[in-house]
């Protein structure tokens, strides 16, 4: 190889390395949602990547209760989270999990999150904490504890951009974002703890940040969700009620169904409340099969993740 060709190859390799963004993905979702959560985040990152070469590496935590099938199938491409500590990554995404305890420190995933939050500050350019992981990181950093909501917050809720920040460059002033959670964080306590809101709902912060050694980004909502994600969660929760696993018949996701569908769901709810039986669940499943939802949050979500990837690339180039 000539000297010119060698230098050209070296420059190309350097450009390739600078354009490559390595992201660790710690997936704490329940067994049934492991693959869908990965698909959702991967799809959003791919849509946002542009000219960047985004590499997503999956990790799992052994303290999260798993079935044998999940361990032998869904988690096969993943590495145990202990393999992460010596890894070289640029960014990190940590998912939430279904709440199992009243206090965040009693959740099975807490010991991992406790260590991961400290590690992420020193070993990432930026980390995204999603849903319950966001609540855990906020508690670790400031002592602000999640508070139970009067009922599950499920549906599409309008959020508004609150500050000018590189992560929200190019987004509209407001849009709808999926929410699916039983807990929230008090807005006044977040403000006192130094967390800056990127977007907020009528009830409080939706997404927010805290700049430490690493830029920590917190999502209480789910910008990564597919159009049918809330629908499938609703059907799952109806099934739990009909099978006696839950004493609460779920409310339909807000802003998700048309008036006629809502009336039919209310009729089915009345029937199921009188007599729990599998047919009540099957009736809801049949009604909602193939129901079309317009993914109005995809575009602004892609912009935010595109801005996040650009931030990672920009800060990586400065190192």
58-87 tens-digit pLDDT: 999 888 888 888 888 878 889 999 999 999
- Which is more confidently placed, 72 or 146? 146
Mean pLDDT of 295-308: 97
pLDDT of residue 69: 83
**Residue 244 and residue 248: Cα distance in Å, rounded?**
9
Catalytic residue among 38, 123, 131, 159: 131
Strand partners for 25 = 58, 93
What is the C-alpha to C-alpha distance for residues 230 and 246, in angstroms, rounded to an integer?
18
Distance CA 68, CA 161 (A): 43
pLDDT band at 292 (very low <50, low <70, confident <90, very high): confident
**Tens digits of residue pLDDT in 79-128:** 999 999 999 999 999 999 889 899 999 999 999 999 999 999 999 999 99
State yes or no: pLDDT of 202 exceeds 70.
Answer: yes
pLDDT digit string (tens) for 231-245? 999 999 999 999 999
222 is an active site residue: yes
Report the alpha-carbon distance of residue 214 to residue 216 in Å, rounded.
6
Residues 185 and 135 sit within 8 Å (Cβ to Cβ):
yes
The whole-number average pLDDT for the span 167-172 is 97
pTM: predicted TM-score of the whole model, two decimal places = 0.92
Tell me what pLDDT residue 17 has.
64
Mean pLDDT to the nearest integer, 200-224: 96
pLDDT for res 1? 52
260-281 pLDDT per residue, tens: 999 999 999 999 998 888 898 9
Which residue in the list 38, 123, 159, 224 is annotated as catalytic?
224
For residue 177, pLDDT beyond 90: yes
| Rounded distance between C-alpha atoms, residue 247 and residue 297, angstroms | 32
How far separated are the first and last CA of the chain, in Å rounded?
31
**Which domains does the chain carry?**
11-225+295-318 (3.40.50.880), 229-288 (no CATH)
CB 125 within 8 A of CB 316: yes
CB of 297 closer than 8 Å to CB of 3: no
| Residue 224 among the catalytic residues | yes
**Residue holding tokens 């190019």?**
170
Where is average pLDDT lowest: 102-106, 194-198, 200-204, 283-287?
A: 200-204
Q: What is the mean pLDDT of the chain?
A: 92
Instruction: Give yes or no for residue 14 having a pLDDT over 60.
Output: no
What is the chain's percent helix, strand, coil content, to nearest 5?
A: 45, 25, 30
Is pLDDT at 13 greater than 50 in this prediction? no
Which residues neighbour 140 within 8 Å (Cβ) at sequence distance 6 or greater? 113, 114, 117
Cβ neighbours for 49, distance < 8 A, ≥ 6 positions apart: 306, 309
If pLDDT is split at 50, 70 and 90, which confidence band does 8 have?
Answer: very low
Q: How far apart are CA 139 and CA 230, in angstroms?
A: 27
* Residue 306: pLDDT over 60: yes
Question: What pLDDT digit, counting tens, does each position of 34-67 carry?
Answer: 899 999 999 999 999 999 999 999 999 888 888 8
Average of pLDDT values for 27-34?
Answer: 90
Q: Does 291 qualify as catalytic in the annotation?
A: no
Q: Which helix (H) or strand (E) holds 156?
A: strand 147-161
The number of residues in the chain equals 319
Q: Enter the tokens of residue 198.
A: 């990127």
Alpha-carbon distance of 51 to 204, in angstroms, equals 35
pLDDT value at 303 more than 70? yes
In contact, 178 and 224? CB cutoff 8 Å:
no
For residue 32, name the pLDDT band (cuts at 50, 70, 90): confident
Which is catalytic among the residues 38, 222, 233, 242?
Answer: 222
Strand pairing of 196-201 and 147-161?
antiparallel
């Amino acid at each position: 190889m000539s000297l010119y060709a060698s230098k050209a190859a070296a420059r190309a390799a350097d450009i390739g390395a600078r354009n490559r963004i390595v992201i660790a993905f710690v997936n704490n979702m329940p067994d049934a949602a492991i693959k869908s959560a990965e698909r959702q985040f991967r799809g959003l990152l791919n849509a946002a990547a542009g000219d960047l070469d985004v590499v997503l590496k999956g990790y799992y935590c052994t303290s999260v209760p798993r079935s044998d099938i999940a361990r032998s199938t869904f988690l096969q491409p993943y590495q145990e989270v202990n393999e992460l500590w010596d890894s070289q990554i640029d960014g990190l995404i940590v998912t939430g999990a279904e709440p199992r305890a009243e206090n965040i420190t009693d959740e099975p995933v807490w010991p991992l999150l406790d260590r991961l939050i400290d590690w992420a500050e020193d070993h990432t350019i930026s980390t995204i904490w999603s849903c319950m992981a966001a609540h855990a990181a906020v508690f670790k950093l400031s002592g602000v504890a999640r508070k139970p909501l009067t009922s599950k917050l499920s549906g599409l809720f309008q959020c508004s951009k609150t500050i000018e920040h590189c992560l929200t460059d190019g987004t509209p002033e407001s849009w709808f974002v999926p929410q699916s959670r039983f807990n929230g964080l008090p807005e006044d306590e977040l403000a006192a703890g130094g967390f800056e809101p990127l977007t907020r709902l009528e009830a409080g912060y939706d997404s927010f940040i805290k700049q430490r050694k690493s830029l920590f980004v917190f999502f209480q909502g789910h910008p990564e969700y597919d159009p049918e994600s809330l629908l499938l969660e609703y059907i799952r929760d109806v099934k739990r009620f009909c099978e006696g696993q839950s004493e609460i018949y779920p409310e339909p996701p807000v802003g998700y169904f048309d008036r006629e569908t809502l009336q039919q769901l209310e009729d089915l709810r009345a029937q199921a409340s009188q007599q729990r039986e599998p047919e009540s669940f099957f009736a809801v499943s049949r009604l909602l099969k193939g129901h079309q939802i317009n993914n109005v949050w995809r575009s602004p979500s892609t912009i935010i993740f595109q801005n996040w990837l650009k931030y990672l690339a920009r800060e990586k180039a400065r190192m």
